[in-house]
Chain A
Amino acid sequence: MENLANIQVIQNMIYIISSVMFILGIKMLGKEATAVKGNYLSALAMFFAVAITCLSLEIDIKLILAGVLLGGLIGSLIAVKVKMTAIPEMVALFNGFGGLATFLIAWSQFNEPDNSMFQHVLVMLTIYIGGITFSGSLIAYGKLSEKLKLGKGSMITNVFISFFYLSMPTLIYVVIEPSLAGFVPQVPSYFSIFLVLTLMAGIGFVMPIGGGDMPVVISLLNSLSGIAAAFAGLLLLNNVLIVAGSLVGASGLILTIIMAKAMNRTITNILFVGYASSGQAASSEEQGEVKPITSDDAYLILENASSVLVVPGYGMAVAQAQHVVREMGELLEDNGTEVKYGIHPVAGRMPGHMNVLLAEANVSYDLLAEPDDVNPSMDTIDVAIVIGANDVVNPSATEEEGSPIYGMPILEVHNAKTVFVLKRSMSSGFAGVQNPLFFRENTRMLFGDAKESIGQIVAEFKD
């Protein structure tokens, strides 16, 4: 007996050490110079916490080894094989698996005899958050990988949305269920119903949210998986679970807020309203003529430019144009042009999406600038090249009060001397708002596939 108590003391001490390592790790992850080490430190903390837990096991060690080895193999394979452009959906998928693990942990705890009232409440909350994280992340995965095309307004989506709303009173019911005993007849198998409904609710939660709002959803799901882990820690009386889970919950929450701010919208508007109903399409009528340009002419202008700002958006990711963009940037620099990349926080499908893509293409990260850095000096930029971005460069956001996106911080490329917009067609962006930028005096449209268009410019430079 004394032996067991000793083991618990040692375990708790190691848990405290790994908690500190997690904290330092995540702090280091927030700075460019130390990020890699921070990730190693946090992985080491994970190793310590897991290893020391293995000192007191009730489950069959064979079962554990099988689970860890198989899971480790699957996870590593996905992580190594995945293309860098598929990162958003991979993060969503891994996140979902974390949520599923807490869901199963809480389920297992429910089966334990003699749960106190407080434990019962925790079990239900953990199941709810973990379950929603799991099924919600799977839907986010489907949407990001474009395997799932269902969106707002479809019949199936509406069914799942009603499951989401139905799940909330059900959660309240299952939480107070033990105290109802004797007053109202018990609903048989209410727990199984709750499990299924929770998973349905997660689907209904994410399904109606559109692609351009995905950065917010992913951050939020990330936060929820941390909160679920922290609740599981309360349930199992384990402090490292609480500390690590809360850190993840907090970091996800901050990212969610940053993303929402970058769109000038509230989190509730993004999750439950969406763009379509948030305002009238004020400027959807055509506003004059667009001026197309060929890559030959674009090359001639670029050759004489002394400063160029590249503004990438989701279209660059779709066209896989990041490598050829980097090549063009290097050629411009060789030509004596100052090249910068203007990155909007919500460009792409996850927080920092464009940064990852450009990093993959070997663009030095000190060339990447945020809107606040480049907007004040925008009028000194000779050419701004917008590659597959739309809403984040829409001047309506600063100029037109009735516009649904009014107030959203943008990259003010319309103030540059010349703007090239690379686009496939004249369709409007995710927000469904027409972009007056395309009709400006200083704007030239370069229609076609971004990769091909830039490839032609690169070829001209090489001649």
Chain B
Amino acid sequence: MEMYVLLGFVLLLSIFLGLELISKVPSTLHTPLMSGANAISGIALVGALMLSSAGQMQDILAFGAILFASINVFGGYLVTNRMLSMFKKK
């Protein structure tokens, strides 16, 4: 239980940090920011890799989680990069 209290603390602080970091972003960057954040939510891949393997059902679930999180990670970062490379100042 102590562990959860500690991690809950990390959770709250991170949310506050996130709110502070992003509160003043120019609207030009709204889409890349959203897309970049979306790629970060692919961190679920780390969670998927931590799953245990006991039986076929668990393997299927783990494979699915890894597959979809990977699509999120690769697709998210590449699309963000493509978008950002278009933003130019003359």
Chain A residues within 8 Å of B, Cβ to Cβ: 22-23, 25-27, 29-32, 35-36, 38-40, 42-43, 46, 49-50, 53-54, 57-60, 63-64, 66-68, 70-76, 78-80, 82, 84, 87, 90-91, 94-95, 97-98, 100-102, 104-105, 107-109, 111-112, 118, 218-219, 222, 225-226, 228-230, 232-255, 258, 343, 345, 350-353, 355-356, 359-360, 362, 364-366, 368, 370
Closest-CB distance, B52 to chain A (whole angstroms)? 5
Given A67-B62, A71-B68, A253-B19, 13 other A-B residues pairs in contact with their CB atoms under 8 A: A30-B33, A67-B63, A74-B71, A74-B75, A94-B42, A101-B66, A108-B62, A118-B4, A222-B38, A230-B11, A246-B14, A249-B18, A359-B28
Task: Report the bound CA distance from A218 to B35 in whole Å.
Answer: 10
Number of residue pairs spanning A and B whose beta carbons lie under 8 angstroms apart: 371
B60-90 vs A, CB cutoff 8 Å, 1 = contact: the mask equals: 0111111111111111111111111111111
B residues 26-56 touching A (CB-CB < 8 Å) = 26-54
**Residues of B within 8 A of A (CB-CB), count:** 80
Q: Which of B23, B47, B48, B66 has a CB less than 8 Å from the CB of A233? A: B47
Pull 29 A–B residue pairs with CB atoms less than 8 Å apart, ordered by A. Answer: A26-B22, A26-B37, A31-B29, A32-B89, A54-B49, A64-B66, A70-B67, A74-B71, A74-B75, A75-B74, A78-B75, A90-B79, A94-B39, A94-B75, A95-B41, A97-B68, A100-B64, A222-B38, A226-B40, A229-B41, A230-B14, A244-B43, A246-B17, A247-B18, A251-B18, A252-B37, A254-B22, A352-B27, A352-B31
Task: Report the bound CA distance from A234 to B15 in whole Å.
Answer: 14
Chain B residue numbers with a CB within 8 Å of A359 are: 28, 83, 86-88
Task: Report the bound CA distance from A101 to B41 in whole Å.
Answer: 10
Task: Report the bound CA distance from A1 to B55 in whole Å.
Answer: 25
Give the interface centre of B4, B39, B50, B79 by most chain A CB atoms within 10 Å: B50
User: Once the chains bind, are A27 and B78 in contact (CB under 8 Å)?
Assistant: no
Closest-CB distance, A191 to chain B (whole angstroms)? 13
Q: Which of A71, A84, A238 has a CB less than 8 Å from the CB of B47? A: A238
Closest-CB distance, B18 to chain A (whole angstroms)? 3
Task: Report the bound CA distance from A17 to B79 in whole Å.
Answer: 25
Q: Which of B52, B75, B85 has a CB less than 8 Å from the CB of A58? A: B52
User: Once the chains bind, are B80 and A49 in contact (CB under 8 Å)?
Assistant: no
Which B residue sits closest to A45, measured CB to CB? Answer: B40
Give the interface centre of A70, A80, A233, A360 by most chain B CB atoms within 10 Å: A233
